Amino acid sequence: MSFVPPRILCIGTHHKTGTVWMRRVWRMIGEALDIPFVAIHDPNKFHRIPEMDRVIVANWAAQFAPELFARRDARFLHVIRDPRDVLLSGARYHESTSGRHERFLRQPDPALNGKSYQEHLRGLKTEDEKLEFEMHRMHQRVLDEMMSWPYGHERAFDVRYEDLIEDTECKLFVQALRFFGFNASECDAAREIFFDNSLFGGLSSDSSQGRVAHHVKSGKARQWQNQLPVAVARNYLNRHGNDLISLGYENDHSWINHIGVKQVGTDAHIGEAF
């Protein structure tokens, strides 16, 4: 079977796994290399993809049409994150954000007695209650998306958010670029964009405005060890312990023994950079 050059370059993330970061990086890469950037929120609308030349196709729930996975000219970059950190980041962001991009946060919900997601979350009294609510609602949706991805697909490059935020030499990102078929000069240009828009690079001293400013809190990995309340962690283990193993974040259930005591005053640091 002859080699088919990558043409349809698909970027898939999940909520609070670096979506704003990847959107910014790949839009800029597209502009720099004259590659159209197309965000397709409904995977069934894959027909919107141009039929000629390279194109960057993004879906921020990592949901792509089966027809795309079957195409030999399609490649996929898929970013996941430790679900426990996603839970912490999501709950804090959904409670505090003043941005208008996540419409579901402000829509009245009959199941919540007419309150919106954010109103209900803000009305809960304890951090445990807020995390439990998030766990059963938006977090469940995000985790379902992560679990449904076709891991091991020959034309997909799976990467962890935790590895990307420590990719200070951009070696991992360059691997993804080469997987997408970028030549040496294109890799150099895209690598610079990635570095300039990462917390270890250009954004380390950047006073970001706009949407990025709403997301930048702390990009550190394994926040759950000190930030996840013990009672919530136990419930998480019961609900999703096996999912953590399936995703490769744990080998067994012993992580519950490493949960630290939640310290007062640390809530402001729960977050996800981008």
Each residue's pLDDT tens digit, 2-23: 788 999 999 999 999 999 999 9
Q: Is the dihedral of CA 17, 19, 20, 26 positive or negative?
A: positive
Which H or E run includes 190?
A: helix 184-196
Across 63-181, where does the E strand assignment appear? 74-80, 156-160
Q: Look at residue 3 in the predicted model and tell me its pLDDT.
A: 81
Q: What is the DSSP string of 23-61?
A: HHHHHHHHHHHT--EEE-SSGGGGGGS-SSS-EEEEETT
Angle at 168 between CA 38 and CA 139, to 5 degrees: 55
Structure tokens at 131: 């995390």
Q: Look at residue 203 in the predicted model and tell me its pLDDT.
A: 64
Structure tokens at 137: 């609602």
Contact criterion met (CB below 8 Å) for 23 and 42: no
- In this structure, how many other beta carbons lie within 10 angstroms of the beta carbon of residue 93? 22
Distance between CA atoms of residues 237 and 256, nearest Å: 7
Q: Look at residue 205 in the predicted model and tell me its pLDDT.
A: 52
Entry field: residues in the chain: 274
Structure tokens at 45: 């609308």
CA torsion 257-259-260-265 (nearest 10°) is -170
Residues in the chain, pLDDT under 50: 206-216, 261-273
C-alpha pair distances (Å), 162 with each of 25, 86, 187, 196, 241 = 17, 11, 22, 18, 19
Domains in the chain, ordered, with CATH? 8-81+146-205 (3.40.50.300)
The model carries a pTM of 0.88
Q: Look at residue 103 in the predicted model and tell me its pLDDT.
A: 80
| 3-state secondary structure at position 99 | coil
Report which residue type is found at 146. M
Across 93-162, where does the E strand assignment appear? 156-160
Distance between CA atoms of residues 23 and 123, nearest Å: 32
C-alpha neighbours within 13 Å on the C-beta side of residue 27: 9
Report which residue type is found at 46. F
